[in-house]
Copies of this chain bind each other. A is one copy, B any other.
Amino acid sequence: MPEGKPNSAGPIRVALLGCGTVGTEVVRLLTDQAADLTARIGAPVVLTGIAVRKPNKHREVPAELLTTDAAALVASDVDLVVEVIGGIEPARTLLLEALRSGKSVVTANKALLAEHSAELFEAADASGADLYFEAAVAGAIPLLRPLRESLAGDRITRVMGIVNGTTNFILSGMDATGASYSETLEEASRLGYAEADPTADVDGFDAASKAAILASLAFHTRVTASDVHREGISAVSASDIAAAKGLGRTVKLLAICERVTETAEDGTTKESVAARVHPAMIPRSHPLAGVNGAFNAVFVEADAAGEMMFYGQGAGGAPTASAVLGDLVAVARNRVHGGRGPRESAYAGLPVRSIGQTPTRYHISLDVADRAGVLAQVAAVFAEHDVSIAAVRQEGRVDDASLVIVTHAASDAALRSTVDKVGGLPVVRDVVSVMRVEGEEQ
């Protein structure tokens, strides 16, 4: 269908790919809200089929719509395809097919978007179809539309948020109980907050996909999941949590996307972007510190708009379906009234910095011998590696002492060499905790 060509003749025909928790909720909302959707779109929506792998599984959806032939459903006479299967294949092939034949796509698939958005956008552009994916990041929170559209006249400098519910549940639990990572993960699995194989969440893959999508939209450049520095939470120890608490901080898994502007000696500036996912200590007074359980929250900083925060449910069937339906209405309106949603905006073509080029602040907690001169020895190692110390706290105990150091911004590499050498000093008994620090003045 050529760009902007209105199709006001009849109803909007929709194919649904996948019918798990989110898909079932999409079907429910399409039914319950039918009259409202018709009024808002200007035409009724008709669900023509639902592609599933196991048609005999019990589902609260009309059985006559189920099919196992997703490719045939995509090839059939539909205006738009909603994809809630997840994962790369077969979603990628099906959506490329849909877009190439001019069918608009609404998807909640973060992994696919984070890896193959260029290819998907090209297919959409070639046929004039729409590609919407609000549900792919932060569930029900309207976040991508604000980044793509509301802030399109501003210059976004930073996006930082909690975008994974499972890891947030685990870290909140460790903070509340003092329990270890493995105990708390077990509890999360038992309660249904962690998948049987929790790798995608706890190792930060899910958050990294979301960071890639956020960075691409915020900075008008291409960032894929493999560009994102990724550290999960499995190495976060009860000692780390205790050390954070002792300093009025808490530990969160953060996704951070930054625009970096460097000014050369001749006054010219060079821009680049950095995206990273890692656990970090943040002050308890920071608004993100109070975000618990399945909730997500994302801070956005822009030159003119200043600081904004978006908060809401980051996962779950109904919240995710709400985001899918919002996109469905937008795409359907474009079909009825003509016009197109935003295309890929990657004109900035900014280079991506590695974590080695992205200095951050660190918190280091050491068990040391309680005698004079220890701080001098430790501080000398930091100085030697050019890692500047921002604050030190030393507390004597029975026959040893705890030494807590917070650095100014330092590179990953410099910090690691420093910690290695400090850990080898005879006066240092143990390196208790090393963690990045965020959410404070640099």
Contacts and interface: CB of A to CB of B under 8 A. Distances in A.
A145 interface: yes
A437 B39 CA distance: 36
Contacts of A324: 153
A342 to B, nearest CB: 7
Contact of A310 (B308, B321, B340): B308
Interface in A265-296: 287, 290
Contacts of A348: 36, 39
B36 A4 contact: no
Given A140-B308, A311-B308, A325 B3 contact: no
Contact of A319 (B36, B37, B304, B310): B304
A335 to B, nearest CB: 10
Interface string A342-360: 1001011000000000000
A146 B146 contact: yes
Interface in A293-322: 302-313, 316, 318-319, 321-322
Contacts of A25: 304
Contacts of A155: 33, 36
Interface of A is mostly: mixed
A347 B37 CA distance: 11
B322 A302 contact: yes
A328 B150 CA distance: 10
Contacts of A40: 152-153, 220, 345, 347
B152 A325 contact: yes
Given A155-B33, A322-B151, A339-B340, A140 B328 contact: no
A428 B305 CA distance: 51
Residue of A290, A318, A326, A333 with most chain B CB atoms under a 10 A cut-off:
A326
Contact of A150 (B142, B154, B339, B347): B142
B326 A149 contact: yes
A330 interface: yes
A153 B325 contact: yes
A367 interface: no
Contact of A134 (B150, B309, B337): B150
A242 interface: no
Nearest to A6: B4
A309 B312 contact: yes
Contact of A342 (B310, B311, B333): B333
Given A37-B153, A337-B339, A308 B4 contact: no
A414 interface: no
A305 B312 contact: yes
A47 to B, nearest CB: 13
B153 A149 contact: no
A119 to B, nearest CB: 21
A134 B154 CA distance: 14
Contact of A318 (B220, B305, B333): B305
A33 B153 contact: yes
A29 to B, nearest CB: 6
Contacts of A316: 306
A3 B5 CA distance: 11
A323 interface: yes
Contact of A325 (B39, B304, B321): B304
A403 to B, nearest CB: 34
A237 to B, nearest CB: 30
Given A323-B150, A333-B342, A307 B312 contact: yes
Given A25-B304, A140-B304, A142-B308, A153 B3 contact: no
25 contacts: A4-B337, A33-B155, A36-B348, A40-B345, A134-B150, A140-B302, A142-B142, A145-B145, A150-B326, A152-B326, A153-B324, A154-B326, A306-B312, A306-B319, A307-B312, A308-B311, A309-B309, A309-B312, A334-B339, A337-B339, A337-B340, A338-B338, A338-B340, A339-B339, A339-B340
Given A4-B338, A306-B312, A308-B312, 6 more contacts: A4-B339, A39-B345, A140-B302, A142-B146, A309-B310, A338-B338
